[in-house]
Amino acid sequence: MAYTVQQHIALKRVSEIAASPDGKWLAVSVQRLDRDGAKYVSDLWRVPTNGAPAVQLTRGESKDSAPQFRHDGGLGFLSNRQPNEVKPDEEAERRMQIWLLPADGGEPRQLTDEPLGVESFRFAKRADRLCYYAAVIPGVEHDKQRETATKRGKHGPSARHYKVQPVRHWDHWLHQNPDLANTHLIICDASGKNRVDLTPSAKAEFAIEPALDVSEDGRHAAVTMQTLASDRELDSTVVVFDLTTRKQRVLGKSDCVDYSAPVFSPNGKSIATTRAKRSAKRAPAPVITIFDTTGGKARRIAERWERWPHVAAWTADGKRLIATADDGGCTPVFAIAAGSGAVQRISAREAGGSHSHPVVLADGRVAAIRSSLTDAPECWVMKAEKNSAPKPLARLSGFVEASKWAEMSSFNVRSTDGKPIQTCLVKPKGAKGTLPLAFWIHGGPMASNLDGWHWRWNPLLLAAQGYAVALPNPRGSTGFGQDFIQGIWGNVWGAQCYKDLMAVADALCKRPDIDAKRTMAMGGSFGGYMTNWIGTQTTRFRCLITHASVFTMAQFTGTTDHPAWWYLEMGGENPYKDPERFDRYAPVRHVSKWKTPCLVIHGEKDYRCPINEGLNLFEALQYHKVPSELLIFPDENHWILKPRNIVAWYDAVSGFIGKYLGASSARTRAKGRQGGHGMRRTGKATRRARA
């Protein structure tokens, strides 16, 4: 029995974790298909940290997510479940509210009733304090907000008036109109009472993915606030609110600088974040920065560590930071000394894999969500010491690890300039003879193909059909040093990165297990761009698949959601003054050389790489009589997220590849039958990445 897309979407998705105050269990948010198989809902589970079986905590057809423990041990979470009222609320499903599972048991009870819902929240660990983000319509009384929003939704007007960029983000229009709802920071006690709006005049400061943390003593809240910078992009600055005096202090304000999610130290005296300077000349290089909470003094640590860290937590003694970072094709867990900046890898190198959402347990161990190319995300725990072997906890996904029928290997290939290019190869285990090759190019471009599970681009689904799937990390990939990333910065997308990819393809085609005559290439976002560029530069591949791609360069400038970032990414070049130079690596300028059959895929709600890019590409291919097909998802954005659309996407991709490559012969040559592996799994840099 092969691993199918139907089995893939039916897996449970471990997505978020929180550690109980005593460290004995994890609260885990797990997504699953609803009863109709039309969308994903989520439940909360209790996963003991000693390896005992998991227990389901919540049930129903709602989205229970973002677990967070209250100071008394109660478990808070966001949910769109029906409120505890006799009369059903027909619109409750559209709003997330904060709910609580009491520490002593009982049914969940609703803590907030924000008219337009809650976006995110944090409890103070040792105090009676709750902070959260919620949308608020200015000038409208609190008890009239919901009614006003409903009337406007039904009767309009729908017009939006803008004076500055950006006006869109990923898949939605931003709020800049003074009479539309904007995100505000709200504080109250831990029971949801005594509500106070800390930012009553907020407009667009929290418009895009604002971060939030609360000190353990409940005295301060730290947020990221956005302001327009001189480069016309949005700076993201750390702002600390004194929750007693309601005063605020801006930390580290500097033009063209981004700060990531702030994390308070246990004693509340320090805040850890990362700082990245924007420049047309140099790619961003995030550096861990520690602020003094009251004085605002900043110091940077581990400045020579050329990785892109995501700080998640502090150890209980406040001496070390726990973080993850891409590193050589995986994402380990690291501990960074808050004083010296010394970096120590915690998760064992030989274990590989990728980690996210690390949390520190009461006994000092670190729990995280861990996955690999052959295993779905699950909860694991490890000691907070060098080269610790992660240990699995109760499994929730329903996936049986695929190492018995699929194998992953990693290798390096020297590019044209001598730099090593790391690549992962996933293929059927025990396959004899040669295999057709699928060459997958990652997005970003400042991202990485990792030894980690991918829900949207999962190589196991092709490996189960008899393909070898190559996952290269060319110039621009994170986890290989800042100079390696710099190789993609500026208007050089089709230069060394293309040479890197072709060097990997050359090496693969020389292998005895690869059929050099049956190869294809595909990618999404930047990977889609690079697939388009490949189409104009070589005919070596039998077919191409390009998803959410960039086809033009100059034209793309004015339609992407963050045009100011695009200017920087293109090295500050001017598409209006010198469009020919700006377009020197634009596939549209070389499309007459394209001969390879191509499937073009795009979501109509994609504002990062707008649908006009896909339509322009498809028309150009049709005009030049290149065999081509177009697959459009009117209700999807940059990613394909709805279960039935996921099935349609994989079916179309598999069918198109099979049409030109075929894999049945390779599949039957694998040792045995592919059974027993079925059922028993997706900061500022993220928001802008064309991933």
> Residue 686 — very low, low, confident or very high, per pLDDT cuts 50/70/90?
very low
Tell me the mean pLDDT in the region 404-426: 97
Q: By the 8 A CB rule, do 84 and 64 touch?
A: no
Measured CA to CA, the distance from residue 175 to residue 115 in angstroms comes to 17
Tell me the pLDDT band of 674, cut-offs 50, 70 and 90.
very low
pLDDT at 90: 77
Q: Measured between alpha carbons, how far is 275 from 237 in angstroms, rounded to an integer? A: 9
pLDDT in tens, 46-67: 999 999 999 999 999 999 999 9
Domain range summary for the chain, segments of one domain joined by +: 406-674
Q: Per-residue pLDDT for 691 more than 50?
A: no
Residue 114, pLDDT above cutoff 70: yes
Beta strands in 477-594 (DSSP E): 514-524, 543-547
- CB-based contact 318:413 (threshold 8 Å): no
| 307-336 per-position pLDDT tens digit | 999 999 999 999 999 999 999 999 999 999
Mean pLDDT of 547-569: 97
Q: Above 50 in pLDDT, residue 16? A: yes
Residue pair 587/498 in contact by the 8 Å Cβ criterion: no
pLDDT digits (tens, 9 = 90+) for 589-627: 999 999 999 999 999 999 999 999 999 999 999 999 999
pLDDT mean across residues, the chain: 94
Mean of pLDDT values over 563-584: 96
CA angle in degrees (0–180, nearest 5) for 301-305-310: 75
Whether residue 683 has pLDDT greater than 80: no
pLDDT at 355: 98
**Residue 533, number of CB atoms within 10 A of its CB:** 26
Q: What is the mean pLDDT of residues 287-293?
A: 97
What angle separates helix 526-537 from helix 496-509, to the nearest 10 degrees?
Answer: 70
pLDDT of residue 673: 35
Q: At 188, is the pLDDT very low, low, confident or very high (cuts 50, 70, 90)?
A: very high
Residue 677 has pLDDT above 60, yes or no: no
d(CA 632, CA 600): 8
Q: Which tens digits make up the pLDDT trace of 245-275?
A: 999 999 989 999 999 999 999 999 999 999 9
Give phi and psi for 334, each to the nearest 5.
Answer: -125, 155
Q: Which of 416-425, 498-507, 568-577, 675-684 has the lowest mean pLDDT?
A: 675-684
State mean pLDDT over 87-100.
Answer: 87
C-alpha span between 98 and 68 (Å, rounded): 10
- Looking at residue 627, its amino acid is P
Architecture of domain 406-674: 3-Layer(aba) Sandwich (3.40)
The H or E element containing residue 556 is: helix 554-557
- Under the banding of pLDDT at 50, 70 and 90, the label for residue 682 is very low
- Element containing residue 196 per DSSP (H, E): strand 196-197
Q: What is the pLDDT of residue 87?
A: 66
Pairing of strands 97-101, 109-110: antiparallel
- Say what the pLDDT of residue 679 is: 30
pLDDT-based confidence at 667, cuts 50/70/90?
very low
Which of 438, 462, 670 has the alpha carbon at shortest distance from 8? 462
- The candidate with the shortest Cα–Cα distance to 236, out of 254, 263, 248, is 254
Residue 548 DSSP class: S
The confidence score (pLDDT) of residue 2 equals 79
Confidence of residue 85 (pLDDT cuts 50, 70, 90): low
Residue 666 pLDDT greater than 50, yes or no: no
SS3 readout for 122-136: EECCCCCCEEEEEEE
pLDDT exceeds cutoff 90 at 663: no
What is the rounded CA–CA span in Å between residue 260 and residue 265? 16
Mean pLDDT computed over 93-101: 96
Q: Which pTM was predicted?
A: 0.94
Mean pLDDT of 457-484: 97
Quick one: which of 336, 335, 328 has its CA closest to 354? 328
Query: Which residue in 504, 445, 451 sits closest to 478, CA to CA?
Result: 445
Condensed to tens digits (0 to 9), the pLDDT of residues 332-356 reads 999 999 999 999 999 999 999 999 9
Residue located via tokens 């902070």: 131
CA distance 79 to 65: 6
